[in-house]
Amino acid sequence: MKIAVTAASGGLATATMKHLINEIGTEDLCAVARSPEKVKIPRIETRHGDYQTIKELTKAFSGIDTVVMISAPVGDWDRVTMHQNVITAAKLADVRKLLYTSIIGNGKEKDTWFWQTQQVNRQAEIDLQESGLQWIVARNGLYLEKDLHHIVQAKDIGVYKNIAGNGKTGYITVDELAYATAKLAISDSSNGQILNLVGDTLTQAQLVNLTNQVFGIDIRYESITDEENIAELMKDPNISVRGEKVAKMLAGCFQAVRVGAFDVKSDYKRAAGRAVKPTLQMIQEQRDAMRG
């Protein structure tokens, strides 16, 4: 039973392949990447697969039983078509099962700046369910790493600001997501299901407090307005170069938290066969990784 992971040079794919190696070894694993030379896992088969090209993807999926389709990055390209291309290629190559890594959301995000992005994820879920393939949708919670980094960076000014207010969500590390994704890929017991992969539900203030505790710092959380948030984000050259649309999408994630759209019930244990790590433990692991 050969498993292929797409977007294989990326962070989630790399972590998922590490866990898959623990489960099935290297022989039956295949990394499908737009840039195969960037795949970081040694001694596994790599194949060329760009989400823009059905023909190339179909070749890449030859002899594959299960495809883990990592969602395409947000940008100025047609992500709906990209996901459709992967699904079409999987069907043409006689793949049996496809697992798609989506994003959590209970629908309340409809009135946020995140909705446009979310619609792409939901369309991919629909296209997959209508494909005739065996399927699993793993809806991922927000990456803990990214926001932890921003909170720790805020130690110089002593205040961490965003627009989430008292909204709650369950942060999760890429490694925890990858562990559950690997388990879902190798077992058929969750086929035909949409599963939320999230950690303990927390407010931003609670997340900041846990971070303070683990890092021995003293930061407070402050809620700001949407306009202030966009102005802050646009000060970051990595964001401003991609335009205000991207800044609004990023801010939209926190609007979604604020309105309760990302406060979803966790299916982690069902997916992974064990409970998700407590947020405190995940923060401690990130601290240890940062300190090398």
Ligand X SMILES: NC(=O)c1ccc[n+]([C@@H]2O[C@H](COP(=O)([O-])OP(=O)(O)OC[C@H]3O[C@@H](n4cnc5c(N)ncnc54)[C@H](OP(=O)(O)O)[C@@H]3O)[C@@H](O)[C@H]2O)c1
Q: Which residues bind ligand X (CB under 6 A)?
A: 7, 9-13, 34-35, 38, 50-52, 70-73, 103, 140, 142-143
Q: Hey, CA dihedral for 2, 23, 82, 49, is it positive or negative?
A: negative
Q: How far is the CB of 33 from ligand X (least distance, A)?
A: 6
Q: Concatenated DSSP letters for 185-246?
A: HH-STTTTEEEEE---EEEHHHHHHHHHHHHT---EEEE--HHHHHHHHTTSHHHHTT-HHH
Q: How far is the CB of 218 from ligand X (least distance, A)?
A: 26
Among residues 36, 44, 67, 35, which one has the least CA distance to residue 181?
67
Q: How far is the CB of 49 from ligand X (least distance, A)?
A: 6
Closer Cβ to ligand X, 138 or 219, answer by number: 138
Q: How far is the CB of 216 from ligand X (least distance, A)?
A: 26
Closer Cβ to ligand X, 71 or 190, answer by number: 71
Which residue's beta carbon is nearest to the bound ligand X? 10
Q: How far is the CB of 171 from ligand X (least distance, A)?
A: 9
Contact (CB, 8 A) for 229 and 162: yes
Residue 222, C-beta contacts closer than 8 angstroms, at least 6 positions apart:
159, 160, 161
Closer Cβ to ligand X, 6 or 190, answer by number: 6
Closer Cβ to ligand X, 188 or 265, answer by number: 265
Q: How far is the CB of 158 from ligand X (least distance, A)?
A: 26
In whole angstroms, how far apart are CA 135 and each of 67, 114, 165, 184?
Answer: 10, 25, 36, 10
Closer Cβ to ligand X, 2 or 34, answer by number: 34
Contact (CB, 8 A) for 118 and 102: no
Closer Cβ to ligand X, 50 or 232, answer by number: 50
Among residues 74, 23, 43, 10, which one has the least CA distance to residue 32?
10
